Amino acid sequence: ASEKWNSIQMTEERVDTLLEYVKEHDFEHKDLYIDILSRWQKGDFSRADKDHNAIWELQGGNIGRANGLLSKEEEAKFIEETFGKDAY
């Protein structure tokens, strides 16, 4: 997206915590969340745009559909600018 409204850094610790929480509780679409977080736990963000859109659609999103991934260079720049130089 050319404009991002907010961002949360997906650290290993955050992904682990989210995955554990989802596994321990009942959620509608629990299997989808586990599938996404399990891939992310392995460092596989290759479908992050599709993951975003799957959750976005469940929430009735009408603005903010993802249409691709950043390049490695764009991602590094975004992470540094958003979370700081040591975040990458």
Evaluate the CA torsion angle 61, 27, 33, 31 in order and state its sign.
negative
DSSP one-letter code for 28: T
**Residue 33: exposure state from Cβ atoms within 10 A (0-12, 13-18, ≥19):** buried
pLDDT on residue 16: 98
pLDDT of residue 3: 65
- What is the model's pLDDT at position 59? 92
Gap between the Cα atoms of 52 and 70, Å rounded: 13
Task: Check: CB of residue 37 under 8 Å from CB of residue 29.
Answer: no
pLDDT band at 87; cut points 50, 70, 90: confident
Kind plus residue range of the DSSP H or E element containing 52: helix 48-58
On the question of pLDDT at 72 being above 90, the answer is: yes
Mean pLDDT, range 2-27, rounded to an integer? 90
| Whether the predicted pLDDT of 43 surpasses 80 | yes
